[in-house]
Amino acid sequence: MCIPHLVAGGRGGVIVMTGSVAATRPVGATGASVAYMAAKHGAVGMMKVYALSLAKHGIRVNVVHPTGVRSGMTMNAAMEKLTAEAAAGTAREDNWVARSQNLLDVQILEPEDITNAVAFLVSDQAKWVTGEEIKVDAGFSLL
């Protein structure tokens, strides 16, 4: 784990955790999606504890919550099936894709959209930002 090394280095530092919109607005799914949502909520709690305890060492800790991002997690046969069911109106109750929409007119973000937020958080422009949840969610959390 990086924390002991950051503390021992004595120069402060930045930790950015990857959350999910699943930690900002539950979509009411069942099955494995519940475990995913619970894990992302747990990551927020962990971030807050670390932000509180590491601030005295000049270490900032934040989390970025992306909506769907083009990746192996979203671009696969299982996701294509869920998306097709949602589009056709034949989605079962456990199809969380059917309840996952972005407010802005974009279905899926590109990895660099999230990278830009992380780059900001690790930059000097965010030198006083810690313990925060940054949403890069195209308005998903507002629906």
Cβ atoms of 14 and 60 within 8 Å: the answer is: yes
Reply yes or no on whether 36 is catalytic: yes
Two structure tokens written together for 34 = 């519940």
How far is Cα of residue 104 from the mean position of the Cα atoms in its chain? 17
Task: Given the residues 25, 27, 36, 79, select the one marked as catalytic.
Answer: 36
How far is Cα of residue 110 from the mean position of the Cα atoms in its chain? 14
Rg (CA), the chain: 17
Q: Which residues are catalytic?
A: 36
